[in-house]
Structure 1
Amino acid sequence: MPLADKIRPSKIEDVVGQSHIIGKDKILTRILKSSFLPNMIFFGPPGVGKTTVAEIVAKESNKSFYKINATNSSLDDVKRVISELDTINNIGGVLLYIDEIQSFNKKQQQSILEFMENGKITLIASTTENPYHYVYKALLSRSSVFEFKQVEMFEIKKGLKRAVELLKEDSYMEIGYTEEGLEDIAKVSDGDMRKALNTLEMVAYSTRPNVDNIVNIDSESVKKSTFNKILNYDRKGDSHYDILSAFQKSVRGSDPQASIHYLARLIKGEDLASICRRLLVIASEDIGLAYPNAIVVVKACVDSAMQIGFPEAKIPLSQATLLLATSPKSNSSYLAIQNALNEIDNEFIMDIPDTLKDAHYGGAKDLGRGVGYKYPYNYNNNYIKQQYLPDSIKDSEYYVPQENKTEQNIKKYLQYLNDNN
């Protein structure tokens, strides 16, 4: 049996991490101590205790326990549980645990709704994906959602120390460790307790005892026995959009250090297309008219990155990111088009003024097309005041210059045209 299964806690007090929902006066602990067991959905990254907590809850309840893994189960498996609901063995009700529920389609998820309604089934489901994206809404509305988070480093180290003692008992090996060695395992695990335990087991069994016949788990032995850590990154999952969001918000916040950090995460996922697309969006959405040439430089960097590919693409991507993070910011371009689009969606808008309509065809003037249009280049400063917007929204303002050097110059220029007309 793998070490991670041997050391799996049987009591809620022994669960590592999740202190925001487990512990004295925390919600999951209170639920376990009460006589009321709601339908629950646990979501979070792998190896953070979702299955462990579900099994502890099942053990503490007085209900018959059924477990289904949605990745290799079908509707027939759900029906099999349903067929046993009214048997004498299940008189106290059934607790059904569905692991990886995101793998069930809508019909499979719907099949248990009726029995959740009448209380014959209490559902606990777990998923590594955001349930608000993958779980059927009717099922979601009948359940309490709990987010499980990455296990913190000090919690992982605490769990590793317990595991070392168990390894000693099981293997009859003398095992020593350094704090740095356990910390290195925690770093490689990236918040995944199961991965940390598997790594510890691999290091312990692959490291030669020293002259005193002690297997020493230190930085050197961990480095020899492990590979580079694998980040929690799925191009179609939540982590993809979370990292992209953090990347853009860090650039927008003018934090070059955080911007480069999230860029590095995206590069580790080798997601070149998403990085390039987001950099081009940022150049217009967050820098815009505060530094109009930013998009020119970013486009050149993006083209270079796409042409040379990884690993060298990281260099122009870093250049573009740092340029944007350290540039003055303005979202006036974004706000202007959003304001215009919102007005189109929500306001009554009259026809385009006749003066602006196409007049390049016979009979156009008879319809009043282009009649009265003033050609700006025939006037001083190549400007003449006239109405361009439809009558119903002729006073609408979408673009408002912001407080940066370039846009203040734009503001002065527009004011100058207005004052000298």
Structure 2
Amino acid sequence: MDLFESAGQETTGVPRAWDAAPLAVRMRPAAAEEVLGQEHLLEPGSPLRRLIEPPRPGSLPPSSVVLWGPPGTGKTTLAYLVATSSGRRFVELSAVTAGVKDVRTVIEDARRRLATSSGETVLFIDEVHRFSKTQQDALLPAVENRWVTLMAATTENPSFSVISPLLSRSIMLTLRALTAADLDALLTRALAEERGLGGKIELAEDAREYLLRLAGGDARKGLTILEAAAGTALEAGAEEITLDAMEQAIDVAAVRYDRAGDQHYDVISAFIKSMRGSDVDAALHYLARMVVAGEDPRFIARRIVIAAAEDVGMADPTALQTAVAAAQAVALIGMPEARIILAEAVVHVASAPKSNAAYTGIDQAIADVRAGKAGPVPAHLRDAHYSGAKDLGHGTEYTYSHDEPHAVARQTYLPEELAEARYYRPTDRGFERTLTERLERVRSLLGR
């Protein structure tokens, strides 16, 4: 059981940020105003703000909360802020090492403290998704009766990883991934403040841009890399952390990007165009450059999904399935194994037959709607379920398609002024060759 204070102590105990502590620990916010990227959770009177602020006489205990968000977004940081700011007794359990006995010990001690007016207890459980159902069940009476105020942190969707009774007794708060601007502000703070690097060294612009990409929205990762690179540079007597020093510190070779980031975007552009152009080898090359440069694999996966929809389309509908599955798997697995998943998706998209017919079709339809070409919905297609609808002729002449040969009813579906419109024009490539023949037969049956 990992406690900030043992269950029998009556004073709040919080670990001191020693100089030897990791930079990520030393840079934890000392006040709510220092928290980056989670302003939406810290509005005055919000559940999290009430946890952070010292309790007022006669006020109700704050609600228990489940903090859900990606790694490095501040879940543990917010817990430490509660520990240092609220004046409440703060106890931490790790779901990796704690058992039901540990949970019950904390709860019993919290009940005794409430009975003797010794104050409220905040129980922080990190990685609560690792708790079994039995362990989570043990928390229910304490949360329901407010013997403890629970702060539970998880990187997995609580709807699937936290039992429903515990969720219903808590408020779920979703932490946002940190933006590049958030991380940039954090790096600036860490370089300048005494609890950080104290202005002892500067960070070159290209090294900063590389670090922001490599961190991928994870504050802990960004600060850990910064600390390693600073140590390397200071050991060499340098006054600035260069890109070379950062590479040496983390043993990753960076693809060189200039200050404006042109080469960064050039590589991404070449990657997309190589997939579109069906050059598998070129697409894998640019994928490799992004992987080695530390590009966020989730970003790469999103570009593959877009390419599958935009450039492959219905010529091979399975390409989008592969791309979406890859994006989900990358988020689940992470690097370095994610490179294999990305490569598989890239090979599928790059080697698939290409069609942008669905892409151009929806854009043409949107252009018509924006130009005012809409028109009333044909009466036989309108909703006929409400009282009086049939008196207006809604749905009265509708023909149920499944009652007709080939399940195609000869009736008008488009508004009258768009009766001749054709937005989707499939190609003769891949699956769309078969689709072309089918659509021609269907349009003939529809009288179009």
Q: TM-score, normalised by structure 2?
A: 0.56
Q: SS in structure 2 opposite 1:95?
A: strand
- In structure 2, the CA distance between the partners of 1:297 and 1:124, relative to structure 1 (3 Å rule), is closer
**1:9 aligned to 2:29?**
yes
Which SS does the other structure have where 2:354 is aligned? Answer: helix
Say if 2:146 is the partner of 1:126: no
Q: Is the 8 A contact 1:188 1:228 kept in 2?
A: no
From the superposition, tell whether residues 310 and 69 of structure 1 become closer, same or farther in structure 2 (CA, over 3 Å).
closer
Give the whole-Å Cα distance in 1 for the aligned partners of 2:438 and 2:316: 17
The 1:86–1:411 alpha-carbon spacing in structure 2 relative to 1, beyond 3 Å, is closer
Question: Among 14, 18, 39, which residue is 2:38 paired with?
Answer: 18
Does the Cα contact within 8 Å between 2:73 and 2:219 map onto a contact in 1?
yes
CA contact (8 A) 2:192 2:199 kept: no
Residue correspondences, number = 308
Number of the residue aligned with 1:67: 92
The yes-or-no answer on 1:164 pairing with 2:221 is no
What value does the CA root-mean-square deviation take over the aligned residues? 4.8
Cα gap change, 1:225 to 1:133, in 2 (>3 Å) = same
Q: Quick check: 2:65–2:171 contact (8 Å CA) kept in 1?
A: yes
Q: 1:184 to 1:143 in 2, by over 3 A?
A: same
Contact 2:51 2:86 in 1 (8 A): no
Q: Which residue does the alignment assign to 2:246? A: 222
Q: Which amino acid aligns with 2:348?
A: L
Deviation string 1:280-337 (CA, Å, 9 cap, x unpaired) is x989xx955xxxx6369999xxxxxxxxx8897566323256826x243799xxxxxx
Deviations, residues 109-144 of structure 1 (Å, cap 9, x unaligned): 011111211111211100111111100011011111
1:196 corresponds to which of 198, 219, 222 = 222
- Cα separation, 2, equivalents of 1:202 and 1:399: 67
Return 173-182 or 18-27, whichever deviates more.
Answer: 18-27
CA–CA separation in structure 2 for the residues paired with 1:311 and 1:129: 22
Matches within 5 A, 1:175-254: 175-207=201-233, 213-228=237-252
Aligned with 2:69 (options 26, 41, 44): 44
| Secondary structure in structure 2 of the residue aligned to 1:145 | strand
Deviations 1:205-232 (A, max 9, x none): 112567xx44311323223322459xxx
Map 1:269-284 onto structure 2 (within 5 A): none
Letter matched to residue 217 of structure 2:
G
Closer/same/farther in 2, CA of residues 320 and 116 from structure 1, 3 Å limit:
same
Deviations 1:122-176 (A, max 9, x none): 1110011111110001101111111112211122122112222347x78889412
Answer whether contact 1:45 1:128 (CA < 8 A) is retained: yes
Which one is further off, 200-209 or 85-94?
Answer: 85-94
Task: Identify if the C-alpha distance between structure 1 residues 203 and 117 changes in structure 2 by more than 3 Å, giving closer, same or farther.
Answer: same
Quote the offset at 1:10 in angstroms: 2.1
Query: Higher Cα Rg: structure 1 or 2?
Result: 1
Letter in 1 for 2:190: A
Letter in 1 for 2:95: A
Deviations 1:188-211 (A, max 9, x none): 11111111111111111112567x
Task: Tell me what 1:294 maps to.
Answer: 316
Question: Structure 1 vs Structure 2: percent identity of aligned residues?
Answer: 24
Native 8 Å contact 1:93 1:119 kept in 2:
no
Matches within 5 A, 1:137-156: 137-156=164-183
Matched ranges for 1:85-104 at <5 A:
85-88=110-113, 91=117, 92-104=119-131
- Using the alignment, how far apart are the partners of 2:228 and 2:72 within structure 1? 17
Matched residue type, 2:28: R
Q: Distance in 1 between matches of 2:249 and 2:113?
A: 52
1:218 partner amino acid: T
Q: Determine if contact 2:408/2:446 at 8 Å carries over to the other structure.
A: no
**Could you tell me whether the CA contact under 8 Å between 1:209 and 1:215 is conserved in 2?**
no
CA 1:172 to 1:158, structure 2 compared with 1: closer, same or farther past 3 Å?
closer
AA aligned opposite 1:162? R
Runs of at least 5 residues in structure 2 that lack an aligned partner in the other structure: 1-20, 254-271, 322-339, 363-401, 414-421, 427-434
SS at match of 2:213: helix
- Greater shift in the superposed pair: 74-83 or 406-415: 406-415
Q: Verify: 1:56 aligned to 2:81, yes or no.
A: yes
Distance change (3 Å), C-alpha of 1:135 and 1:57: same
Who is 2:424 aligned against? Answer: 404
CA contact (8 A) 2:203 2:241 kept: yes
**Counterpart selection for 2:441 from 403, 408, 413:** 413
Instruction: Please give the residue correspondences for 1:347-366 in structure 2 after superposition, counting only pairs within 5 Å.
Output: none
Checking the alignment, whether the CA contact within 8 Å between 1:202 and 1:225 is kept in structure 2 is yes
Change (3 A) 1:27 1:320: farther
Shift in alpha-carbon separation, 1:86–1:178, aligned structure 2, 3 A: same
CA displacement, residues 218-251 of structure 1 (integer Å, 9 cap, x when unaligned): 323223322459xxxxxxxxxxxxxxxxxxxx9x
| Secondary structure in 2 matching 1:150 | coil
CA contact 2:23–2:196 (8 Å) conserved in 1: no
Post-superposition offset of 1:6:
1.6
Taking the aligned partners of 1:141 and 1:410, their CA distance within structure 2 comes to 51
Change (3 A) 1:76 1:317: same
Offset at 1:397?
A: 8.6
Alignment gaps of 5+ in structure 1:
230-249, 300-308, 332-392
Shift of 1:82: 2.0
